[in-house]
Structures are given as C-alpha cells and as structure tokens.
Amino acid sequence: MTRRYNLYQVDSFTKEKFTGNPAGVITNANGLMDYEMQKIARELNNSETAFIFSSNSNEYDAHIRFFTPTNEVPICGHATIAAHYVRAVENGLDTSRVYHKTGAGILPVDIIKENNDYKIVMTQGKIEFGNIIDGTNKQELLAALNIKESDLLENYEIQIVSTGHSKVMVGIRSIEALNTLQPNYDKLSKLSEVIKCNGYYVFTVDSMDSNILIHGRMFAPAIGIIEDPVTGNANGPLGAYLVHHNLIKHNNSLLKFKAMQGEAIKRSGVVEVEVKIENKEPVEVKVSGNAVIIFKSQLLLSD
C-alpha cells in the first residue's frame, strides 16, 4: 500500500523566495513513524522539518513535531511559522487563533490574514533563565567562536535562556565581527555536552538601520545545524534576556523590536519580537513573521 504525504518547502521570516529560513512541512503526518520522520528531515536537510498531526483533543487544533537532520527538538520558531502558514493556506483560514501541541506544551498561534496572505504570530513557551557561562566554559566558548574578551558587549552576561528550546546568548560589539565570525564547530559541539545547551546565538546591537535593533547569527552544530539562517527560538528568548538584564529601554509593559539574521550566509530574514513585561520582568514572548511557499510536492511511501 502506498501512503501519500503533502510535502512543502517554505521560507520563513521573509516574503522573498530563497531568503529567510527554509523549513520542510508535512501537513498530513498521521501514520508516520519516528524513524520515518527522522529520515525525511535528513533527506530534506533543512535545519528543521515540521510534521503536522491531526488533533485528538479539544485542547488543541494540531499536534506538531519538529526534527533537525539528526534529532527531534521540542519546538522551532521558523518551522512553526512555516507549518501554520501552510496550514492556513490549505484550509483557507481567516484571522484566527489556533492552538498547537508541541514539545514545549500547548501554545497559541495567531493567524493574521492581510492582503490575501498570512502573517503568523507564535506565542513562545515558558521563559527560563539558565546558567551564566563564565570561567573555563566562557574561555572555551570564546575560543570556539574565535573571538576575544574585548569583542564582547560590556554588561551583557553570556547566559542560557529558553522559551522552549534553550540558546546561549552572546552579545558582541560590532556587526563587522558578527559577519566575519568563523566558529570551530567541533569545539562548539563539545561545549554543548558540557553546558547542556546546543544553540549559540551571537548578536549585536550595532545596527545602522533604525528599524532593526538586533543583528544575529545562530550556530547549533551539536544537533546538525551548522548555522541557522533566521531563528525564532533565539530572538524570542533574546527579548526576554534584554528585559531581564535591563539592557534596552521600554515602557514597563511591552518591548517590541525587529531582528535581522542570516545576512552573513545570504539568507536574510526579519523576526518581529514582542515581550510582555510585568514588574520589570518578562512574562510572555511572541515572535512573528511572514512566509513564502517554495514548492509543494507529494511524498510517496510504501508499506
């Protein structure tokens, strides 16, 4: 018997094809086994592929699982944008709120219909501030990134932060240094085992564009991602980090900013970040962006 799956390639955080962050999406994943999803993700070789399963609960509208070429991960920003964009297109959705079950819990996603197209707003998971990376681990990290202590932004602690899938926040002074980074991926992978975090988000506030607050690059070689073009699950927790450490001015209720990523690898895209603030602390993070379908195909699997 042949099983047929709807397979899409989608560029997220952009409206221009072949930019932003590519994700695979299978919209009718029911019946796929774990090993099959892993093989499909490896074959597509995007940083993540999203598999949409139908809901068997009234608590959520869809169950989505995310795989890198080597691992399943709890949640992924750009693949969430891609999955819900395609789901909205397939189902002709109007502006609405849906809920998806993920490895980071059941979370809301807002579908905004505008100009016969869609923008997707993802509410991220629980904000968690992890270890500050210092001492030997900090020296190992600087060596792995091939940067010096003097390249770092003052008062920006190197810290693990999560809104569902943790990242190490590394603030550096200059956009030039950011765009010429040449990390040692083996060293980064080894350090990931020690610090129990696989993603490194190197960012700067050195922006020439008044509309863009952050420029960044994200490396996660330990899970098969040498460099991720545009990362919702890095820029979201970065927003929480900026509020928590009081690094950016805000009105004590909401911080909104745009981050650009992917320029160094010629796949630039823009993430819009919103951080809800109570008592000077971040309490909820949303990331939003556009998407564009590159191709739709059918995957045939034989039993």
Catalytic residue numbers read: 48
Give the separation between CA 214 and CA 231, rounded to whole angstroms.
12
**Dihedral, CA of residue 151, residue 153, residue 157 and residue 160, to nearest 10:** -70
Query: Can you point out the beta strands (E) in the chain?
Result: 2-12, 21-26, 48-54, 62-67, 72-73, 96-102, 105-114, 117-123, 128-132, 159-162, 167-171, 200-204, 214-220, 225-228, 254-261, 269-278, 281-289, 291-302
- Whether the Cβ atoms of residue 38 and residue 72 lie closer than 8 Å to each other: yes
- Whether the Cβ atoms of residue 287 and residue 281 lie closer than 8 Å to each other: no
Give the separation between CA 280 and CA 293, rounded to whole angstroms.
39
25 DSSP β-pair partners: 8, 50
Q: Give CA separation, 118 vs 39, 93, 112, 114, 296, in Å.
A: 30, 9, 6, 6, 17
Give the separation between CA 285 and CA 283, rounded to whole angstroms.
7
Give the separation between CA 58 and CA 51, rounded to whole angstroms.
19
Give the separation between CA 50 and CA 79, rounded to whole angstroms.
6
- Give the number of residues written for the chain: 303
- 291-302 and 2-12 strand pairing: antiparallel
219 DSSP β-pair partners: 200
How is residue 81 written in tokens? 């944008």
